[in-house]
Structure formats: C-alpha cells, structure tokens
C-alpha cells in the first residue's frame, strides 16, 4: 500500500502512519514525483491540484480535516474516488474551547472592559441571568452537536439548528425555515459550524442578521462563506453608522489569509483569529486515519462524503 500525505506537519503524520502500518510505503507530498506516482491513498489537507491530478490509481482519499469544501473545489479532483473525512477526531473539543471562550467573552462583557481600559474606566456591567442568555448553534454535525452540549453544560440555554432534525439532550433542536427564525429571534450569541455548501452560502445574510436581538454577537469558527461579510459589517456598524450587533469573533473568512486591507481587521467590535479554532490534532486523529485505510483495503462500506451535498 502506498500513501501520500499532504498537511502542514506532514512529516509527523507520515511517521505516525508508517509506525501503525509498517508494511506500507508512506511518503510526504514533497517526495520526488516518480516516487509519489501510483499511490493507493492520499491523506491530505489543502492539497495542491497537481497532487490530485497526477494520481492514476487511487483507491481512496482521506481528508485530514472536517470540511471537504477545499478538496471538492480543487481542480482535477478525480470523480470516482471515494472520499472520507475526519469526524470529531479531537476537533470537537478544540472547537468547544474556542466557542466557550467567545460566548463567555460577550456574556461576561469582556468586550466592554477591553474598550474601557484605555480610558482607565472602572465600570462593572451587570451579569445577565444565564436563563435569559440563549445561544444559537447553526450546524449539529459531529462538531456542532458537541459544541451545543458543551454550551448547555456551561449552563446556557442552547438552540441548535440543522438541515435535518436532530436530538441532543438538553438542547432545543430546530430545523427548517421556522426553526431558523425561532433561533435568530432569541439568540444572544450565534455560533456558525455548518459546512460550506451551496445550501449554506450566506445563510447569515442582511435579513437574518437583522432578525437577531439588539446587542447579539456572532462567533464563526465554521466557514467564511456562511456569512455575508458586508452585511455583517453593516450590522456591526461602521464609518459612523451604528449597528445593532454587539460584536463578532471570526476565525474563517471568504478569503484566507484575510487581506490586510479588509475592514474586519480594524473593526473595534471584531476579533479576528487566523483559522486556528480546531486544527486537526494528530494524536487524536491518527487512529481514525488508520482505520479508514484498513477499511478501504478490506473493501468495507465506508461513510464516504457526498460531493453533491458537499459534506
Ligand atoms: C478545518 O477548517 C477543518 O475543516 O477541519
């Protein structure tokens, strides 16, 4: 079996796969093209197009992350090769940490204290009852449902929304247009953890952002495409225009890296992080990668992604 790995810390992934599969040839994508050729499997995160195009006998592709949007948009992606993606694989916990940080940032008025500090302003703000501070989570896949549970366990009322009906203990799970309206009418903070698909493009547009209660905040560790960026800027207020949203913690953007001249960088109500909310943790993910390789080799039926659905 030949496996070619492409990800930031590829050498560590190569070593971990080689250790688990001593009979396999495991290469990183910077191996000479002649050695990389005729791989059986690619284990990749943001692979360059040539790496996909040069392969002629792939049996499977393992996406070393949760979102397959980048892979599906890569020119030359072979049509008939099954693709699997990592599910949870340690990313849910990292994502929950990031989201809890963001939600508590707004819930405990850390944004207000940060704005007061340059003026030496000693001004405490009342802590709202948690019962009156519902959080909405858009997207209840492996990661979103974990995040929704973590927020619920932190004592906040949680409204979850997904395309298809879901059940999560202690979470009010909604779906459909009515469900989305119910969530948007109530949420003090909205967390977006949906995949980037044709159906989720700009799910938070001007109209939906306007539905949120005054002073609500947005936390987006999912994908930049989920939010209409101009509508978000308008809802936050800019150039002397007030906005009805309180702030945003954003990890993902339409264009990454976020261009230096993008107004989000300088916006006083926005925190920008560089797509770091949940990098795939090798130690948690490696067992899933190895079991995918075993399952492919054994001809087992795998939960492959559906390119038409986009996840
Ligand atoms: C990160 O963005 C991922 O999809 O895993």
Instruction: For the chain, give every domain's residue range.
Output: 2-89+280-298, 91-272
> pLDDT confidence of 240, banded at 50, 70, 90?
confident
Task: For ligand 1, say whether the CB of 195 is within 6 Å of any of its atoms.
Answer: no
Mean pLDDT of 276-300: 97
> Ligand 1 atom 5: the closest Cα is on which residue?
65
Supply 213's token pair. Answer: 């209660």
pLDDT value of residue 276: 97
Domain 2-89+280-298 class? alpha beta
The CA 304 to ligand 1 mean position distance, Å, reads 17
Task: For ligand 1, say whether the CB of 141 is within 6 Å of any of its atoms.
Answer: no
Of 6, 172, 223, 246, which one is the catalytic site residue? 223
CATH tag for 91-272 (out of 3.40.50.720, 1.10.600.10, 3.30.70.520, 3.40.50.1000): 3.40.50.720
Element of type H or E holding 62: strand 60-63
Residue 130 contacts residue 157 (beta carbons within 8 Å): yes
DSSP state of 174: E
The CA 138 to ligand 1 mean position distance, Å, reads 16
Q: ∠ CA 157-163-164 to the nearest 5 degrees?
A: 90
Burial class (CB in 10 A: 0-12, 13-18, 19+), 243: middle
Element of type H or E holding 4: strand 2-6
pLDDT value of residue 28: 98
pTM comes to 0.96
Told to judge if 36 belongs to the known catalytic residues of this protein, a careful annotator would answer no
Domain 2-89+280-298 identical in fold to domain 91-272: yes
Told to judge if 275 belongs to the known catalytic residues of this protein, a careful annotator would answer yes
Residue 97, φ and ψ in degrees, nearest 5: -60, -45
Cα separation, 278 vs 45, in Å, equals 13
The CA 150 to ligand 1 mean position distance, Å, reads 19
Which of 8, 83, 280 is the pocket-test mutation for ligand 1 (most atoms within 8 Å of CB)?
280
The CA 278 to ligand 1 mean position distance, Å, reads 7
Task: For ligand 1, say whether the CB of 66 is within 6 Å of any of its atoms.
Answer: yes
| Atom nearest to 69 CA in ligand 1 | 4
Which of 8, 62, 67, 85 is the pocket-test mutation for ligand 1 (most atoms within 8 Å of CB)?
67
DSSP string for 22-48: TTSEEEETTS-HHHHSS-SEEEESS--
| Atom nearest to 64 CA in ligand 1 | 5
The CA 253 to ligand 1 mean position distance, Å, reads 13
pLDDT one-digit tens code per residue, 53-109: 999 999 999 999 999 999 999 999 999 999 999 999 999 999 999 999 999 999 999
Task: For ligand 1, say whether the CB of 222 is within 6 Å of any of its atoms.
Answer: no
| Atom nearest to 68 CA in ligand 1 | 4
Q: Is residue 233 predicted with pLDDT exceeding 90?
A: yes
- Calculate the average pLDDT of the chain: 97
pLDDT one-digit tens code per residue, 8-38: 999 999 999 999 999 999 999 999 999 999 9
């Amino acid at each position: 079996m030949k496996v070619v790995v492409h990800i930031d810390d590829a050498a560590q992934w190569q070593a971990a796969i080689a250790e688990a599969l001593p009979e396999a040839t495991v290469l990183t994508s910077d191996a000479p093209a002649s050695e990389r050729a005729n791989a059986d499997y690619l284990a990749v995160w943001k692979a360059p197009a040539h790496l996909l195009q040069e392969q002629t006998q792939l049996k499977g592709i393992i996406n070393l992350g949760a979102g397959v949007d980048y892979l599906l948009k890569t020119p030359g992606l072979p049509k008939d090769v099954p693709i699997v993606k990592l599910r949870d694989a340690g990313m849910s916990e990292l994502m929950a940490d990031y989201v809890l940080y963001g939600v508590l940032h707004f819930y405990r008025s850390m944004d207000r204290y940060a704005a007061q500090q340059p003026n030496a302003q000693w001004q405490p703000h009342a802590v709202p009852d948690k019962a009156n501070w519902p959080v909405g989570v858009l997207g209840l896949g492996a990661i979103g449902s974990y995040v929704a549970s973590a927020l619920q366990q932190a004592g906040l009322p949680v409204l979850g929304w997904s395309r298809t009906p879901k059940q999560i203990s202690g979470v009010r799970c909604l779906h459909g247009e009515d469900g989305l309206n119910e969530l948007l009418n109530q949420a003090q903070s909205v967390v977006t953890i949906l995949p980037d698909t044709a159906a989720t493009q700009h799910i938070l547009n001007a109209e939906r952002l306007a539905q949120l209660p005054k002073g609500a905040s947005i936390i987006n560790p999912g994908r930049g495409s989920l939010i209409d960026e101009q509508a978000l800027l308008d809802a936050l207020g800019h150039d002397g225009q007030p906005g009805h949203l309180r702030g945003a913690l954003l990890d993902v953007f339409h264009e990454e890296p976020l261009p230096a001249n993008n107004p989000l960088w300088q916006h006083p109500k926005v925190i920008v992080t560089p797509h770091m909310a949940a990098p795939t943790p090798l130690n948690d993910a490696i067992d899933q990668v190895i079991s995918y390789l075993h399952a492919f080799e054994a001809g087992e039926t795998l939960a492959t992604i559906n390119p038409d659905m986009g996840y």
